[in-house]
Structure 1
Amino acid sequence: MNRRTSRYRPGRSLVTGASSGIGAEFARALAARGSDLVLVARREERLTTLADELESTYGVRCRTVPLDLSEAASGRRLRDIVPEHIDLVVNNAGFAVQEPFSDGDADDFERLVAVDIRAVVDICSAFLPDMIGRRNGIIVNVASTTAFQPVPTLAVYAAAKAFVLSFSQSLWYESAPHGVRVFALNPGPTHTEFFDVIGDSATATGTYQTPTDVVATAMRALDARRTRPHVISGRRNTAQAALAGVVPARVLLPALARMLH
């Protein structure tokens, strides 16, 4: 069991996908601990509203960066905009496309890969070296419980999150000797705008949590003296992820397909 230390209080945190859902809840939780914030998302008006709320409520400083992370070299562009030391990076931005792959739009898949994979790698590449040089910092890459099994009709999204999980686990090992922590946070279905896009049928892979539930899981991991390579939010989601690892694909995939139909 992880032994706890005092509550983690980063001086400055960067959160992507901060305009709503889990990202906005991360921003609120970190502001409540006194962290200044860099809030990144496409929707500038929502970022400004959130920044005003956090500054007035908690007295922290918030910088808003409206940026489309599907664009090439988004992490390097972000690092140019934010050259200061960042103590915590939360790679939360992402989206999904739910439909049979053969019915999908190639442009949608390209954007999904750009945001859910390329931007995560690029942002880690932009900010991790400075953390290692200072021997201080944490990166949280938000994956998903879909990372633990293929998911029909969410083929590209599930594969992207499997990449994020594997990538984060490797960085966890590489960064630990340098005093830097990296881990994947794996929520199950969560009450956010995500399901306005892909539909409620995706809850078949777990049970609904709230963004507050998910961020509370992450904050407990941040407070721990040592953090595992990945953290799953929710006991039922944890059990389902473990089960997915032992059920043969020939059994698992038809069952998932029926639930998601």
Structure 2
Amino acid sequence: MEPEVYPPDTKEILPSDVLKTGIPGFDELFSIGGIPKGNIVIVAGGPGVGKSTFCRQICNNLASKKHPCLYVSFEESVERIEKSMISFGWDVERYEREGVFVIQKMNPLDILRIKFGSIGGGESAAEITAKIEPITIPRGFNPEVIVVDSLTAIVAATISKAKNYRIYLQQLFSFFEETKATTFLITETDEIPKRYSSTGIEEFLADGIIVLYNIQKGSVRESALEIVKMRYTRHEKR
């Protein structure tokens, strides 16, 4: 099958500009042999399809080769994530000791309270958000990969204030562009999604969209992966 879906945007991609995830069969779906470094990628799918595991496997594969990775969780605790990764035989504790893998647990309500809780005084939302980073990267740690698990948790925390979420989202994408890290943003969708994020804004801003499926066929379930879009490279659709 020829790797052809969307023509790539105008940008020269060198071998050093390609992130190889190390997931068997995945990198080969791209004409350049992986994901363009610095891309912001949505990883979408229904509950239980393996979105978090997919992203954790990428972190494991890269951290094992000394590439720094940051995993930001808005839901699960650090201990639960470590336990999950260890169950796959991944040496997450060694990566943490070596300083190439950091897991951060963040409360979306706390972040939003810090960013928007002072509104009502003399400052506007835009003025406040300009002063505060949307997530915190440990001092001296320069991740090549960042995973956010998940944007859906942020949406839930801002359900009564959609404007706050839009402001946060715009700053989040700008922040990731500045870090130059390849970023994976997990979003939960319907089992067969008609859109790939909670508001639709995310997929417009993102460079790539990867969708995971777990589809019932008769008495069995089959897992599948679809690359909906990926800027700067051609890709197969599977």
Q: For the superposition of Structure 1 and Structure 2, which TM-score range results when normalised by the shorter chain?
A: 0.3 to 0.5
Give the alignment's TM-score, normalised by structure 2.
0.37
Larger fraction in helix = 1
Structure number with greater CO (CA < 8 Å, separation at least 6) is 2
Larger fraction in strand = 2
